[in-house]
Amino acid sequence: MSESLKPTPQFATEAEERAFWESPGNDSTAYVDWSHARLATFPQLSGKSSSVSKEAAEKASPKS
């Protein structure tokens, strides 16, 4: 990549970061040189039947 990259912004919350990257005007290619990316595999990582967010919400809510 011949042009310089923008510094990666800092976010206070995950929601703020999600909103930034979902915005049409914020393309990751301005921040990351994807020509250096490599494929990563995690063969020992098992799938889950429920999301981590759902599990965290269930743990946080009081049981009746």
Phi-psi group of 25: left, alpha or beta (phi > 0 → left; psi -120 to 50 → alpha; rest → beta): alpha
Q: Distances in Å between the alpha carbon of 47 and those of 6, 7, 38, 53, 58?
A: 35, 34, 22, 15, 19
Q: Is the pTM of this model over 0.75?
A: no
Q: How many domains does the chain have?
A: 1
With respect to residue 42, please indicate whether it lies within any of the assigned structural domains.
Answer: no
With respect to residue 43, please indicate whether it lies within any of the assigned structural domains.
Answer: no
With respect to residue 39, please indicate whether it lies within any of the assigned structural domains.
Answer: no
With respect to residue 27, please indicate whether it lies within any of the assigned structural domains.
Answer: yes
Residue 31 per-residue DSSP state: T
With respect to residue 23, please indicate whether it lies within any of the assigned structural domains.
Answer: yes
What is the domain range of residue 16? 9-34
Q: What does the pLDDT look like over 4-13, one tens digit per residue?
A: 999 999 999 9
Q: What does the pLDDT look like over 28-61, one tens digit per residue?
A: 999 999 999 999 998 888 776 666 676 777 777 7
